[in-house]
Amino acid sequence: MAAILTIAGAVTVAAGGAAFAGKAADAIQALDPDKDGTIDLNEAKAGAKAVFEKINPDGDGTLEVKELKGRLTKKELDAADPDNDGTLDMQEYEAVVTKQFELANPDNDGTVDEKELKTKEGKKLLKLIY
C-alpha cells in the first residue's frame, strides 16, 4: 500500500512539473507577439494588465489580498503597497511585476525565456502575468 502511495505521489509531482513546463511554453506563446521565444518587460506588463483586469471582478481598479490569492502573500502585498491602503492599483501591481521580472532575469539580458520561467522566480513572475 505504501509503495502504491509513493508511486502515486511521484506521478502527481511529475505531472505537476510537466504541467508547469507546458504553462511556461504556453505563456511565451501567448505573451510574445514578436515570436522571438522570450518575454521582454513590455510583454510582461501587457500580460500583467490582462491578469489585473481578470482578477479584479469588482472592477474597482484595485486588487485586495483575496483577489491576489496565489499570486502574492499578504506580506508581499504590504511590501508593494506604498500608500498602505491595503490594495494595489495598476501602477503598484506593475511595479511588483517589474521587480519580479528582474529577479527572474538573472542574466540581465532584458528578456525571460522558458528556462528562466521554470525557476522559482520565473514561476512567481508567471503567476503575475499569465
- Read off the CATH number of the domain in which 16 is found: 1.10.238
Pick from 101, 95, 96: which is nearest to 39 by CA? Answer: 101
Interior CA angle at 102 toward 98 and 106, to 5°? 165
What is the extent of the structural domain holding 100?
A: 2-129
pLDDT at 22: 81
Of residues 104 and 16, the one with the higher pLDDT is 104
pLDDT at 12 over 90: no
Contact between 47 and 129 (Cβ < 8 Å): yes
pLDDT band at 21 (very low <50, low <70, confident <90, very high): low
pTM metric for this prediction: 0.82
Total domains present in the chain: 1
**Averaged over 71-93, what is the pLDDT?**
96
Contact between 89 and 61 (Cβ < 8 Å): yes
pLDDT at 17 over 50: no
